[in-house]
Amino acid sequence: MPLSERLNTIISLVPLELGVVDVGTDHAAVPIELAHLNQHRTIIGVEYNDRPYYQAVQKIAKAQLTDVVEIRKGYGIDCLAPGEVEVAIIAGLGSSTIEEILRRGKQVTKKLVKLILGPMDYPHQLRRYLLLNGFSITQELLVHEFRWYEIITAVPGAQSGAILQPGATDADLKEQLENLFNKAFGVSKEASLLTLLELTPLLSCEDIEQAAGFLQEKKDGINRILNKMPENVKTVQRRQALEEKLQIIWELEEKLCGSKIL
C-alpha cells in the first residue's frame, strides 16, 4: 500500500546514512520504507500497544527484513541506549505524549542529531516545550491531507541557521518570534506567544498557496468557535482573544503578497 504524503515527507527528512528510530511505529510502514532506501544502518521501530507491536513484527518478517529492522516493545525512546541511533521520528501522536517521550528519553535525545516530529494536535505547545528545553527548531513543513499537518525538525542545543533558537523564558521566545515575524512580514499588531508559536510554519513556508491555505484553515477554526460561543460576561475575554488572533491572521494574509514567500 502506498504511503501517505505525510509519511513520505517524514521519510524524506531522514538522512540516508544515519540510524533511525520510529516511535509509535504501528504497522512498521516507515521502518520498512527506510530499509528499502538503505539497509546498511540501524533501523528500530518502537511500539507500546500489544496488537500493533505483534503486527509490526509480522510485517517485518513478511517483508524479509528481520535482519535489518528491529521492533521493540516500549513507550518511547527510553528503550534505546544513548548513541544507538542518530535520528528519531516521533509522529502520529499528540503533543503532550511527544513531550513526555522526550522527557523520559533525555539521555537519548542528547546524542541525537535530528528529531522529526509530527504532532497530531497543539503543535504550538510542542514548539514551546522544545524551545524552553534546549532544542533548536531547524525546519517546518506543511502537508495537507484533509487538513494541514505540521512537521517539525529539531536538534538538541543551539544551532546556527535554525529557524528558532532555544530560550530561557517565555519572554525570550516572544522577543525572538516578534523579531522574526516583523522581519518577514512587518506585523504591527501585538500577538501572544502562543499565537506566534501557532503561526511559526509561515516563517519557513516557501509556497504561497500552502501559506494561504494554512491561514484559511486557522480562520475557519476560529470562526467556528466564535459562532458557537454564547455572548455573555463569561466569554468576553475568550472572544476578545480569538478576535485579536483573527486580526493578526488577516494582517499576515495582506502581507503575504509582498513577503519572501512570493
| Distance between CA atoms of residues 227 and 142, nearest Å | 27
Q: What do you get for the CA distance between the two ends of the chain, in Å?
A: 36
pLDDT in tens, 221-241: 999 999 999 989 889 999 999
> What is the average per-residue pLDDT within 90-99?
97
Whether the pLDDT of residue 1 is over 70: the answer is no
Q: Burial-class residue 152 by CB neighbours within 10 Å (0-12, 13-18, 19+).
A: buried
Whether the pLDDT of residue 129 is over 80: the answer is yes
The confidence score (pLDDT) of residue 259 equals: 53
pLDDT in tens, 173-192: 999 999 999 999 988 788 99
Whether the pLDDT of residue 88 is over 60: the answer is yes
Whether the pLDDT of residue 122 is over 90: the answer is yes
The confidence score (pLDDT) of residue 261 equals: 45
- In the numeric block, the cell 504501528 is attached to 26
pLDDT in tens, 12-36: 999 999 999 999 999 999 999 999 9
| Distance between CA atoms of residues 161 and 164, nearest Å | 9
| Distance between CA atoms of residues 42 and 92, nearest Å | 22
List the one residue out of 100, 128, 124, 103 whose CA is nearest residue 214.
124
The confidence score (pLDDT) of residue 187 equals: 81
| Distance between CA atoms of residues 201 and 100, nearest Å | 23
> What is the average per-residue pLDDT within 34-48?
97
pLDDT in tens, 194-213: 999 999 999 999 899 999 99
Task: Give the CA count within 13 Å in the CB-facing half-sphere of 47.
Answer: 19
> What is the average per-residue pLDDT within 147-160?
97
Q: What is the mean pLDDT of the chain?
A: 95
| Distance between CA atoms of residues 228 and 226, nearest Å | 5
Whether the pLDDT of residue 260 is over 90: the answer is no
The confidence score (pLDDT) of residue 257 equals: 67
Angle at 126 between CA 20 and CA 100, to 5 degrees: 65
pLDDT in tens, 49-74: 999 999 999 999 999 999 999 999 99
Going along the chain from its start, the domains and CATH numbers come out as 5-156 (3.40.50.150), 170-256 (no CATH)
**Quick check: 56 and 81 in contact, CB under 8 A?**
no
% the chain with pLDDT above 90 = 92
Strands in 87-93's sheet, in edge-to-edge order, are 69-73, 43-47, 20-23, 87-93, 114-119, 148-156, 135-144
The sign of the CA dihedral 7, 13, 18, 22 is negative
The confidence score (pLDDT) of residue 258 equals: 61
The confidence score (pLDDT) of residue 262 equals: 40
Alpha helix (H) residue ranges in the chain: 5-12, 29-37, 50-62, 95-104, 106-109, 123-132, 170-185, 193-198, 208-228, 236-256
The confidence score (pLDDT) of residue 7 equals: 97
